[in-house]
């Protein structure tokens, strides 16, 4: 038999009520948790989307900066290549100018020395001709004077006769001048 007492009824009602309350609380909790889950999913999705958007914007800015820096570096590399391409020209021009200067100075010096040497050679030839002419004149003079020379010292002036010539004094010329007769000794 079943025991139906007011206490048992109350307990049973209390248990049913507790079960109903528990189910309502569970249903309400499921609803709240479901709403919270939807809200959290939506907020997470929104935050994720906004974070993704900010990251994309920052990446775009970073990419633009990298592209700009790369472009500048390429321009600098191109300018450096161009300057290096013609950098050898300036030292070459300086070296060539120095060489042309050295060769010009040397050529001028050689021309000056050659003309000086030619002038000295011509002068030497003229002096040699003059010496030959004077030597011939001296030979002719000695032939005409028979080797008689003139000398002057502190004792007076003298005519020096060669060893094969003899002299005689006391001769007078037709105009009355004194003369010395010179004869060659055999």
Q: Encode pLDDT of 56-96 as tens digits.
A: 999 999 999 999 999 999 998 888 888 777 777 888 889 99
Evaluate whether 166 touches 183 at the Cβ level (below 8 Å).
Answer: yes
Q: Which of 186, 183, 154 is nearest to 168 (CA)?
A: 183
Query: Residue 1's pLDDT is what?
Result: 47
Taking 70 as the pLDDT cut, the residues of the chain under it are 1-4
The whole-number pLDDT of residue 99 equals 93
Strand partners, 183: 166
pTM of the model: 0.37
């Amino acid at each position: 038999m079943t025991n139906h007492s007011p206490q048992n009824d109350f307990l049973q009602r209390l248990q049913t009520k507790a079960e109903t309350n528990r189910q309502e609380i569970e249903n309400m909790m499921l609803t709240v948790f479901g709403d919270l889950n939807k809200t959290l999913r939506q907020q997470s999705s929104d935050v994720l989307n906004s974070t993704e958007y900010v990251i994309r914007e920052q990446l775009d800015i970073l990419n633009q900066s990298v592209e700009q820096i790369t472009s500048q570096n390429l321009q600098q590399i191109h300018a450096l290549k161009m300057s290096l391409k013609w950098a050898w020209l300036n030292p070459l021009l300086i070296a060539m100018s120095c060489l042309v200067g050295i060769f010009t100075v040397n050529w001028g010096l050689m021309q000056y020395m050659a003309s000086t040497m030619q002038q000295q050679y011509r002068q030497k030839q003229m002096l040699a001709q003059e010496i030959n002419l004077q030597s011939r004149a001296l030979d002719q003079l000695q032939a005409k004077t028979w080797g008689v020379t003139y000398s002057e010292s502190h004792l007076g002036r003298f005519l020096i006769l060669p060893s094969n010539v003899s002299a005689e004094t006391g001769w007078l010329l037709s105009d009355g001048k004194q003369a010395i007769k010179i004869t060659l000794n055999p």
